Amino acid sequence: MARADPPPPPPAAFERRVLRSAAEHHYLRVRLELPDGGARPSAAQFKQLVVTALRELHGEVGAALPVDVLTYEEKTLSAILRVTSSGLVKLWSALTLLGFYQNRRCAFRVLQTSPFLLALSGNSRELVLD
Amino acid sequence: MRMSVPLRRLRQAPRHLLVCEKSHARHARSRHAAHVRDHAYNCRVSFLIPECGTLPEVLKSTIADVGEYYLLRNLSLHELVTHEFIDTFVKKGSCHALTYNTKIDQDNTAALLPTGKLILSVDKDTYEELGLQGRPSQYSGKKVMRYIITIDLMDPSFHPDSKKHKRVLWALKEKKPLEFDFLLAWCNTGAEGSTLMSYFPKNQIQTLKPKITFSTLRDLQCPVLQSNELQGKPEESCSTEELFEWLGAVLNQVSLDNKSFSFLSTYCCPQPNTIVEQAFLCTITGFIIPEAIIQLLEKLCCYFDEPKLAHWLTLTVHGFADSPVSWRESEHGFHKGGENLYNFVVFRNLDYWLQMAVGTNDDCPP
Q: Is A14 on the interface with B (CB under 8 A)?
A: yes
Say which amino acid occupies B347.
Answer: F
Per-residue confidence (pLDDT) for residue A3, from 0 to 100: 54
Q: The CATH number of the domain where A86 resides is what?
A: 3.30.70.3250
Backbone φ and ψ for B3, nearest 5 degrees, come out as: -70, 140
Residues A48 and A18: their CA atoms lie apart, in Å, by: 37
Q: How many Cβ contacts (< 8 angstroms) between chains A and B? A: 176
CB-based contact, A50 to chain B, within 8 Å: no
pLDDT the model gives residue B190: 63
The arithmetic mean of pLDDT across residues A71-97, rounded, is 96
Residue B151 or residue B187, greater confidence? B151
Q: Does residue A130 carry a pLDDT above 80?
A: no
Strand partners, B111: B98, B119
Residue at A77 is within a domain: yes
- Report d(CA B282, CA B313) in Å as an integer: 12
% of chain A residues with pLDDT over 70: 92
Within a domain: A11: no
What is the rounded CA–CA span in Å between residue B223 and residue B240?
10
- Output the pLDDT for position A1: 44
Report residue A7's pLDDT band, with 50, 70 and 90 as the boundaries.
low
Q: ipTM above 0.90?
A: yes
Q: Which of A21, A69, A121 sits opposite B264 (nearest CB)?
A: A69
Show the beta-strand stretches assigned E in chain B.
17-24, 42-50, 69-76, 94-99, 109-112, 117-123, 135-136, 146-152, 179-187, 205-208, 211-223, 273-288, 312-319, 340-347, 351-358
Contact between chains at B19 and A113 (C-beta distance less than 8 A): no
**Which residue, A108, A125, A19, is CA-closest to A69?**
A108
Q: Are strands B17-24 and A78-84 parallel, antiparallel or unpaired?
A: unpaired
Predicted confidence (pLDDT) per residue in B227-273, tens digit: 999 999 999 999 999 999 999 999 999 999 888 888 999 999 999 99
Q: Quick check: is A26 in a domain? A: no
> How do residues B277-313 score in pLDDT, each as one tens digit?
999 999 999 999 999 999 999 999 999 999 999 999 9
Q: What is the pLDDT of residue A35?
A: 87
DSSP secondary structure string, B155-187? -TT--TTSHHHHHHHHIIIIIS--EEEEEEEEE
Count how many domains chain A has: 1
DSSP B7: H
Chain A: residue nearest B321 by CA? Answer: A124
Which bin fits B69, alpha (ψ -120 to 50), beta or left (φ > 0)?
beta
Average pLDDT value for chain B: 93
Q: Could you tell me the sign of the dihedral formed by the alpha carbons of B153, B158, B163, B164, in that order?
A: negative
Residues near B180 by Cβ (< 8 Å), separated by ≥ 6?
Answer: B74, B75, B77, B99, B100, B102, B108, B110
DSSP 8-state secondary structure symbol assigned to residue B12: P
A52, pLDDT greater than 70: yes
Smallest Cβ–Cβ distance between B22 and the set A15, A80, A130 belongs to: A15
Q: What integer pLDDT is reported at residue A38 of this predicted model?
A: 76
Q: With bands split at pLDDT 50, 70 and 90, how would you rate the model's confidence at B191?
A: low
C-alpha span between B20 and B144 (Å, rounded): 33
Spatial separation of the C-alpha atoms in residues B241 and B48, rounded to whole Å: 17
Closest CA to A21 of B323, B228, B11: B11
Pairing of strands B69-76, B205-208: antiparallel
Indicate whether A84 belongs to any domain: yes
Residue A127 lies in a domain: no
Helix or strand (DSSP H, E) at B247 = helix B240-251
Would you kindly state where each structural domain of chain B is located, as residue ranges? 15-67+211-358, 69-208
B13-54: pLDDT as tens digits: 889 999 999 999 999 999 999 999 999 999 999 999 999 988
* Mutate which: A57, A92, A114, A126, vs B, most B CBs within 10 A: A114
Domain annotation covers residue A119: no
Instruction: Mark out the alpha helices in B39-194 (DSSP H runs).
Output: 57-64, 83-85, 124-130, 163-170
CB atoms within 10 A of CB B155: 13
Query: What pLDDT does A6 receive?
Result: 63
CB atoms within 10 A of CB B1: 3
* pLDDT tens-digit readout, A26-39: 999 999 999 877 78
Residues 6+ apart with CB under 8 A from B114: B40, B94, B95, B96, B289
Residue B337's nearest CA partner among B356, B351, B357, B352 is: B357
Decide if B116 contacts B158 (C-beta within 8 A).
Answer: no
Contacts of A124 in chain B (CB under 8 A): 43-44, 318-322, 338
Separation between Cα atoms, residue B277 and residue B338, nearest integer Å: 35
Q: How far, in Å, CA of B241 to CA of A101, rounded?
A: 37
**Rounded Cα–Cα distance for residues B350 and B304 (Å):** 8
Q: Is A23 within a domain?
A: no
Q: Tell me what pLDDT residue B261 has.
A: 84
Query: How far is B130 from chain A, CA to nearest CA, in Å?
Result: 27
Beta bridge partners of residue B272, listed in sequence order? none
Higher-scoring residue by pLDDT: B140, A65:
A65
Whether cis (ω within 30° of 0) applies to the bond prior to B272 is: yes
**Residue A47 forms part of a structural domain:** yes
Q: What is the mean pLDDT of chain A?
A: 91
Query: Which of B20, B350, B351 lies closest to A17 in CB terms?
Result: B20
CB contact (8 A) between residue B21 and residue A15: yes
Q: How far apart (Å, rounded) are the C-alpha atoms in residues B68 and B291? A: 13
Range of the domain at A109: 35-113
